[in-house]
Amino acid sequence: MDSYKPFDSGVERVTVNVRIDKWLWAARFFKTRALAIQAVDTGKVLVNGERVKPAKNVHVGDTFSIRRGPYLSVIVVKALSLRRGPAAEAQNLFEETPQSIAARQETAQRLASQPPPGIGGRPTKRARRLISRFTSGE
């Protein structure tokens, strides 16, 4: 029985060196590490209110501000992960602040109430013929 090893989910609650880009990828905020690196480099991800480099280590309790499109998510790191696991496991790595959830919902409602952007540009030849038939009564 001495050789028994418990299942390792990859979620570590001890001090582990995990890069910001790798943690964002493991927590499923970005689909690839390259996208996570790009977001950190362009300032779309702030750690404790400051711009950082992708190689900086993440610590439990750090606050991340992540901007994706018009949405801003403020999260607190609860655990570190050495690998990208299932979505249920990724949700255990962080906790979003209540103010962030409320702000995202308000932004979603505001965007839903706005009309979609108009289709720009000249109508195609087929569309022009349909418009011509409709306006001339054919």
Whether residue 56 is contained in a domain is answered as: yes
Whether residue 9 is contained in a domain is answered as: yes
Whether residue 129 is contained in a domain is answered as: no
Whether residue 135 is contained in a domain is answered as: no
Residue matched to tokens 């001890």: 14
pLDDT in tens, 64-80: 999 999 999 999 999 99
pLDDT along the chain (138 residues), means of 10: 50 72 95 95 95 94 94 94 90 94 93 79 91 85
Whether residue 82 is contained in a domain is answered as: yes
Whether residue 1 is contained in a domain is answered as: yes
Whether residue 115 is contained in a domain is answered as: no
Buried b (16+ CB within 10 A) or exposed e, 42-81: eebbbbeeeebebeebbeeebebbbeeeeeebbbebebbb
Q: Domain holding 73: CATH number?
A: 3.10.290.10
Structural domains in the chain (count):
1
Query: DSSP state, 52?
Result: -
pLDDT at 51: 95
Q: Which residues share a beta bridge with 19?
A: 57
The gap from C-alpha 136 to its chain's centroid, in whole angstroms, comes to 50
Domain with 7 in it? 1-101
